[in-house]
Amino acid sequence: MQSITFPDGTRVPAIGQGTWHMGEQPSERKREVAALRQGLELGLTLIDTAEMYAEGGAEEVVGDAIAGLREQVFLVSKVYPWNASRKGTALACERSLKRLGTDHLDLYLLHWRGEHPLEETVEAFERLREQGKIARWGVSNLDLDDLHELPAGCAANQVLYNPEARGIEFDLLPFQQQQGIPLMAYCPVGQGGSLLRNEAIREVARRHQASSAQVALAWALRQQGVIVIPKAVDPLHLKQNAEAHKLQLSADDLALIDESFPPPRRKRPLEML
């Protein structure tokens, strides 16, 4: 499995597991838990979740999935921006840890920027790190100007990135690559299926006898320092995700995708979902 290195030298798989929309339907819980465990068996040992997802429900699903397997998992969660004060961050983290059934997170992110100053949130993160409740901290949905406001120590930035949303290639992604800050790509296969039905993506998939989702993941993974976190519950999709790193897109493949999804030629507002 292709791996990515965090600033402190910790290595994680470049393909992880997302959990957005998990925990919303009680009838799906067993299936979601089984999927996350299958992903771990396939080497997708980074699991990303958030207190926002199903208002803690996704964290509870993850907690069930990693019970007895915590040492195998690189666990990521996020704090709501309105909880990201000095006191609120600590309380939110405690709630997340309880739902996850663990005593620490490997990475704790600010979900997006809100009313609390970044320096206040970072101060709370550093306090949690000193207490051993998080190993490192980072951010999500922050653009380049926001990153410039952060003090040293940011371990990652999680943003929307796929062929339909590639504005970050103009400035944010190059900056993070230069600084050695991993970029976590959420929704790397898009949302709603339109990306996967795109004719260029489908043509490249046919060339490689691969799925459209594998092409989208390989497209993101071509970039240095990118971690993709697709959500999958179907066993076949999980296997395909785990194999996506083996797909090497050619210059012709990339040119064809560029025709449908041109790279940015100027600064664009950061896209978010």
Catalytic sites, residue numbers: 53
Cα gap 124→248, rounded to integer Å? 41
Closest CA to 217 of 255, 244, 253, 186: 244
Four-CA torsion 25, 30, 35, 41, nearest 10 degrees: 150
Q: Please identify which residue in the block is written with the tokens 């090497």.
A: 248
Burial class (CB in 10 A: 0-12, 13-18, 19+), 158: buried
* Cα–Cα distance list, 7 to 149, 178, 192 (Å): 18, 12, 34
Q: Please identify which residue in the block is written with the tokens 């979740």.
A: 49
111 is in an annotated binding site: yes
Binding site for substrate: residue ranges?
A: 111
Binding site: residue ranges?
A: 111
